[in-house]
Structure 1
Amino acid sequence: MDSPDFLREKHVRYFKQCLKLLPRPYTGGDTNRMTFVYFALGALDLLGVEFDKDERDSIVEWIYAQQILPDPQDRGRVCGFRGAPFMGTHSRADGNATFHPYDGAHITMTYTAIQCLLILRDDLSRVDRSAITAGLAKLQQPDGSFAPIQDGMESDMRFLYCACAVSYMLNDWSGVDIDSAVRYISDSRSYDFGFGQGPHLESHGGSTYCALASLWLMCRHDTLREYVAATTKWCLSLQDQGFHGRQYKQDDTCYSFWIGASLHLLSAGHLINDTANIQFLMTTQNKMIGGFGKYQTSLPDILHSYMGLAGLSLGEFPGVQSMSPALNLTDATVKFLASEAVTWKRQ
């Protein structure tokens, strides 16, 4: 039975509304719209909500319209998915596409687009696997990290994780130099045994999750085991009631997932004080409209609302579906990925 403190129906309404209309402050993040869709769909999946066929088909078509396909006149194009149709071009259901020289894929949007398609039980038959993996190879940097876009100005642990998750979901690692990626992760381990976004950078809960999940996805469990004792201790030091992402910061809803998932990847989830963490998350719910805020006094936002549910899932909270910490998807969706319903599993 659900806890009386858990506002499930309000959370369902909140995320359904987020799929249709977001508040004005989100307009500045339109290039990240694919990720917003993932947070909403992922949350509804965690809540066990089923989508009707018309709604499902509509969202699936919108996602495929954001796929950047190879341009016959530009063989250097990085393919994948973009965050929104801000360039005005689109890929049609018949496989034909319009092209714009400045319209390109983003590695995070590719990651979240594939996740969304899996949540909606699409067979991924229209995903151009070979083009995406070829694009990943162009985004990997000499130090093993990944840039998010072609000619990108930044590269760090976030995008390395996205490359690993995409490769895992597509079951094709030809676009990743795994040994180079593992070296980058090892070089990014800090003196306190957490991981930074890159070498010599401060340990952070988000980048620690990305590092550990990447190792798990790359099947480098031998390297992962090397970090268990010391990194587990660092992660546990970040729990007061909930979790925070860096030393001397206050507890923050999203780290219930980032740090909680890291501990599960280290086979140390049993060391989490789940009771205290759940009590904290119950205080960050918005009692009027649903969703979760960053802090107890914060208004809800779509990122922290999703991460709050993910944190509850890791704590085996009643009424929230179980999930895979490495892929950040429900176990049911990961089971679908492994099934012959996915096109290339039938080939």
Structure 2
Amino acid sequence: MMGNPQDELHKEKHAKYFVRFLKLLPARLSSHDSTRVTIAFFAVCGLDVLESLDLLSDETKKEIIDWVYSYQIVPSETGPKTGGFVGSSTLNITNSDANCGTHRYKWGHLAMTYTGIAILVTLGDDLSRLNRKAIVEGVAAVQRPDGSFSATVEGSEHDMRFVYCATAICAMIDEWGDVNKETLAQYIRNSLRYDYGVSQHFEMESHGGTTYCAIAALFLTDQLSILTTKEIEKIKRWLVFRQVDGFNGRPNKPVDTCYSFWIGATLKILDAFELTNYSENRSYVMSTQNIVVGGFGKWTGSSADPFHTYFSLCGLSFINERGLGKIMPSLNISMRAYNQLKERHKAWQLENNFDEVRLDID
């Protein structure tokens, strides 16, 4: 008797789905054109989770790496601290991409910087073209007095999303510069709500996505100890209660496949993921799978998109789905990529030690 095809993970179709998004974006995503780097992040890192990066030739990988670097902003030494990455050339106000990185009206965006660096790490780039000094200065420049971060130096929302992006960027480039970790941690603590979820900003509603951002940021800055043992246990309880079959992001809201990552990764960081029901989680995620053209939707019967496809696969990875790579929960990249990144950190540290010795000799 044939099994239900919906219960089988169609890896090849999902891999082809991501490859298509690296070649051509559908018209319905035209409104996201200014954030193309994030779409590329879902596609590239999704292929990595599927252990299918070999579908991209070395030439294609190099083209993607060069494309990401073309959006790096390198400000002048005397100008504003605007280092980082932009999301696409859509808003380029120069005559050529070559001038993009130094134009005074161009500035990095934390989300684009995070996803851009993650792509480079995932594709195995040596990161030698990263201007780490400009990037960490750009991150520090958008930190606000309350510890939160804006997306850009010219102002934007300032909330937990960008707190996470800032810490992930600094962790990946192994530079913290003038980022104030203590006020960052206090901002997170001030956003802990009465029900022990974490809100997007002070006095707002607890949310699964921002709880992930907060806990991951504390983990990456080695400051989880700012929370008491009792508080951490209460946070775990709030997270576990988000499961219906899949997970929702707030009480009395519908389940959504992306929360298999947001809630699952947070529980992974807190070493409590085993408290969830694996089979119910899998059953819901697989019910949203498009078995014809690939991809996952947010709900059963909804259209697939790169965002929910990537996070669905991450959620399946957490429950040890066969054929998927492991995820590093706090950085949201594969363990394979993370291990490569650690080797790059060691090389940077050796270079720094060599420079210090040379200065002593001089």
Aligning the two structures, in what range does the TM-score lie when normalised by the shorter sequence?
over 0.9
Unmatched segments (≥5 aa) in structure 2: 352-362
Q: What do residues 17-58 of structure 1 show as CA deviations (whole Å, max 9, x unaligned)?
A: 011111112111111111100000010000111232101110
Contact 1:79/1:104, CA 8 A, preserved across alignment:
yes
Contact 2:7/2:286, CA 8 A, preserved across alignment:
no
Within the alignment, does 1:320 sit opposite 2:324 as a pair?
Answer: yes
Unmatched segments (≥5 aa) in structure 1: none
Match of 2:63 in 1: 58
Within the alignment, does 1:191 sit opposite 2:201 as a pair?
Answer: no
Structure 2 counterparts to residues 166-315 of structure 1, below 5 A? 166-224=169-227, 226=229, 227-315=231-319
Match of 1:107 in 2: 110
Matching residue within 122, 131, 151 for 2:154: 151
Q: Aligned AA for 1:189? A: L
Contact 1:216/1:224, CA 8 A, preserved across alignment:
no
Q: Aligned AA for 1:315? A: I
Q: What do residues 93-113 of structure 1 show as CA deviations (whole Å, max 9, x unaligned)?
A: xxx866433222101100001
Match of 1:70 in 2: 75
Q: What do residues 294-335 of structure 1 show as CA deviations (whole Å, max 9, x unaligned)?
A: 100110011001000010111111111011100001110000
Count of residues in correspondence between the two structures: 342
Q: 2: CA distance between counterparts of 1:42 and 1:224?
A: 31
TM-score (norm 2): 0.90
Q: Aligned AA for 1:131? A: A
**Structure number having the greater helix percentage:** 2
Q: 1: CA distance between counterparts of 2:73 and 2:189?
A: 33
Contact 1:138/1:150, CA 8 A, preserved across alignment:
yes
TM-score (norm 1): 0.94
Q: What do residues 259-283 of structure 1 show as CA deviations (whole Å, max 9, x unaligned)?
A: 0111111110111111110111110
Rg bigger for which structure?
2
Match of 1:133 in 2: 136
Following TM superposition, the consecutive aligned residue runs of length 4 or more in structure 1 with deviations greater than 4 angstroms are 88-92, 340-343
Contact 1:285/1:293, CA 8 A, preserved across alignment:
yes
Describe the SS at the equivalent of 1:338: helix
The structure-2 alpha-carbon separation of the partners of 1:346 and 1:294, relative to structure 1 and needing over 3 Å to count, comes to: same
Contact 1:123/1:342, CA 8 A, preserved across alignment:
no
C-alpha deviation, 1:77, in angstroms? 3.8
The structure-2 alpha-carbon separation of the partners of 1:340 and 1:83, relative to structure 1 and needing over 3 Å to count, comes to: closer
Contact 1:217/1:326, CA 8 A, preserved across alignment:
yes
C-alpha deviation, 1:196, in angstroms? 0.3
Q: 1: CA distance between counterparts of 2:300 and 2:309?
A: 12
C-alpha deviation, 1:155, in angstroms? 0.1
Within the alignment, does 1:19 sit opposite 2:22 as a pair?
Answer: yes
The structure-2 alpha-carbon separation of the partners of 1:224 and 1:53, relative to structure 1 and needing over 3 Å to count, comes to: farther
